[in-house]
A and B are shown apart, each in its own frame.
Chain A
Amino acid sequence: MARTILIDPVTRIEGHAKITIQLNEAGAVEGARFHVVEYRGFEAFCEGRPFTEMAAITARICGICPVSHLLAAAKTGDRILAVTIPPVAEKLRRLLNLAQITQSHALSFFHLSSPDFLLGWDSDPAKRNIFGLIAADPELARGGIRLRQFGQDLIERLGGRKIHAAWAVPGGVRTPLDPTDRDAIRAQLPQAFATTLAALQRFKGLLDGPLATEASTFGCFPSLFMGLVGADGRWEHYDGQLRLIDPDGTVLAEALPQQRISEALAEAVEPWTYLKFPYFKPLGPEAGSYRVGPLARLNVCERIGTERADAELLELRERGGRVVTSSFHYHLARLIEILAALEAIELLLNDPEICATHVRAHAGVNAFEAVGVSEAPRGTLFHHYRVDANGLIEAVNLIIATGQNNRAMNRTVTQIARQWITPGATEISEGLLNRVEAGIRCFDPCLSCSTHAAGQMPLHVQLIGPNGEMLQERWRQ
């Protein structure tokens, strides 16, 4: 008898979602869907506001990565002012984004995902969390928490507060970096490096052993990848060119037109989810769907440009090929990006100009439409504004990283369900529930951003029969 499994809500992700798995008459998996069930409507209520407020408004979309929206909004504002921001302002914004990448990736790996790897897929869900990890491996847990603290401390020292620091503004940043703060951050770097390198060694050991099956079945499929690349194809997170590659590594589009991004990208909608499905227009909604985020950034770049991160990138490519297609490797990519971020932070803090005080350019409205692009921890983020002659917002479109991974998340859930649900099985095991959720966690989705949705995120799996009847469901709060 056919049926549907419902996982609602999905836990240890940011936002509120559910998963349905459809089984056919034989009890085999027919398909699976990742539904995002909440909606916020930021794009609508920003209309009529001054564009100078957009950084502060859109940063409130999310408490995890407000910096990403702050930077995308500030960059869009730069374009509306039509100014080149002072060089040190760009360096300081980069520093802010690197701090954001570090703290967000640390949260995803240590707090949200590592309990699965380290405590076991079938372990007691009540203990399979950061507190269980603290009990089982206090040193690793402490290191992870400190690493996140390092990123947040840097954000606070730059912007005055850890969350929603409205510090990046159109034209630059508000305040320069104080030499005392620079030195305090520099002093924390050795511990951050040590934690990251230890986690990398530990995780690579697991990939070669107990996690080998997951690495080959969690969202392992060919797809396009998109991300920013810098000069000479170097890893980039703040500016640069938008590159799209196919699963063979062939560059399909170099330097996508950022200011006319709607010519290159379109957003499909489905009636069963609030999360849109952006795609590369020339290839259509299916073939043109692509992945973004840490793995995509490492796939599209030629090299990272710093010694230790480049060595890890080479090892990743030895493990998964020039273009790594297994979504499980998002976790490894995240750790490598933390390492890259720490190295880049070290370089920026050693820059003799980093404490320069001319940090902001001033101008009026000189362009009526602009797009700002930056790399959020979860992938490429687009802010697109149209303003009137006085700078009041007439239209807003936000293309969020998690949306761009939407089709990949759905394929990942389907792939995991097919791998782990035995045809004819009547029970939903805890291990299945958790693996399906973990498939989503590979992408570290932020649903509050991507649907512009409020709420927290528990898990609900439904098993639905061929006639649409619900056969079994499990809830976890």
Chain B
Amino acid sequence: MSVRTLSINGHAVAMATGTTLLAAAREVGVPIPTLCHLEGLSPVAACRLCLVEIEGSGKLQPACLTPVAEGMVVHTDTPRLQDYRRTVIEMLFTEGNHVCAICVANGHCELQDRAVEVGMDHSRLPYRHPDRPVDLSHPLFGLDHNRCILCTRCVRVCDEVEGAHVWDVGWRGEHCRIIAGLNEPWGAVDACTDCGKCVQVCPTGALFDKADTTGEKHADPARLGALVRARARGQQTR
């Protein structure tokens, strides 16, 4: 196994070729915030929270997709990155309708946690208050587009882990939204196996159990990594 040596925040690091900067940083205890990334799913670099600075490159790079390279000098927590990350979180909040006080995920929400981490005590951007629907057509689960940040974890888990491919991303630009089947009510999509993996991996309250009320969603997305690892060892089938 070939190894690459690099520097992350001044720490000398040696990592196997092909390791991402995110995995390398976490390996050596350097935290990098993420939202769309989840162990067990393919990385897509959609949220842009894990951007890092690499000396010699004018562009910020997503740590979840960038492999380590020999001699890289990486910075993960510069003032420029701090400002970028806060702006990203502010844009996510202002682009949807995130009302924590009444949300099923209040207190157990990754978006809320990231907002606290980046110090977002208010938004410098105007709220857009889009008019978005709620889909309660599924017998067990609900989808509130107001709380969706388009991380596509649900799309990936349904396709890559459950194999049902119920979810996709429809439309373009500001009209982008998660769609079930061929843009049908979720409850009308026969492909759905009611497994609930999408609800479990959703970082916000966008996907939820219909029985849950404010603050009652306690999803544990990290369990997905364990499931995928177990499958790889042939220990579990679903």
Interface residues of A (CB under 8 A from B): 48-50, 52-53, 55-57, 60, 164, 166, 169-170, 174, 362, 364, 390-392
**Chain B contact surface mostly:** loop
A390 & B101 in contact (Cβ 8 Å cutoff): no
Query: Which chain A residues lie closer than 8 Å to B133 at the CB level?
Result: 48
**Residue of B187, B210, B212 ringed by the most chain A CB atoms within 10 A:** B210
Which of B101, B142, B213 meets A164, CB within 8 Å?
B101
B216 & A174 in contact (Cβ 8 Å cutoff): yes
Bin the interface of chain B by size: 10 to 19
Interface residues of B (CB under 8 A from A): 101-102, 133-134, 136-137, 139, 142, 144, 187, 210-216
A164 to B106, CA, bound (A): 13
**Residue of B144, B214, B215 ringed by the most chain A CB atoms within 10 A:** B214
Not counting A50-B134, A364-B139, a sample of 15 additional A-B residue pairs whose C-beta atoms are within 8 angstroms of each other reads A50-B136, A50-B142, A50-B210, A52-B211, A53-B213, A55-B214, A56-B102, A60-B102, A166-B215, A174-B216, A362-B211, A364-B210, A390-B137, A391-B136, A392-B136
Query: Which chain B residues lie closer than 8 Å to A169 at the CB level?
Result: 213
Query: Which chain B residues lie closer than 8 Å to A48 at the CB level?
Result: 133-134
A60 to B133, CA, bound (A): 22
Query: Which chain B residues lie closer than 8 Å to A52 at the CB level?
Result: 210-213
B214 & A53 in contact (Cβ 8 Å cutoff): yes
A401 to B25, CA, bound (A): 59
Query: Which chain A residues lie closer than 8 Å to B142 at the CB level?
Result: 50
Q: For residue B216, which residue of chain A has the nearest CB?
A: A174
Give B102 Cβ to nearest chain A Cβ, in Å. Answer: 4
Which of B102, B134, B211, B216 meets A392, CB within 8 Å?
B134
B210 & A391 in contact (Cβ 8 Å cutoff): yes
B102 & A53 in contact (Cβ 8 Å cutoff): yes
A212 to B216, CA, bound (A): 53
A391 to B187, CA, bound (A): 14
Knowing A50-B142, A164-B101, the reply to whether A56 touches B136 (Cβ < 8 A) is no
B213 & A55 in contact (Cβ 8 Å cutoff): yes
Query: Which chain A residues lie closer than 8 Å to B137 at the CB level?
Result: 390
A390 & B213 in contact (Cβ 8 Å cutoff): no
Q: For residue B215, which residue of chain A has the nearest CB?
A: A166
Contacts A/B (CB < 8 Å), 28 sampled:
A48-B134, A50-B134, A50-B136, A50-B142, A50-B144, A50-B210, A52-B212, A55-B214, A56-B102, A56-B213, A56-B214, A57-B102, A60-B101, A60-B102, A164-B101, A166-B102, A166-B213, A166-B215, A169-B213, A170-B213, A174-B213, A362-B211, A364-B139, A390-B136, A390-B187, A391-B136, A391-B210, A392-B134
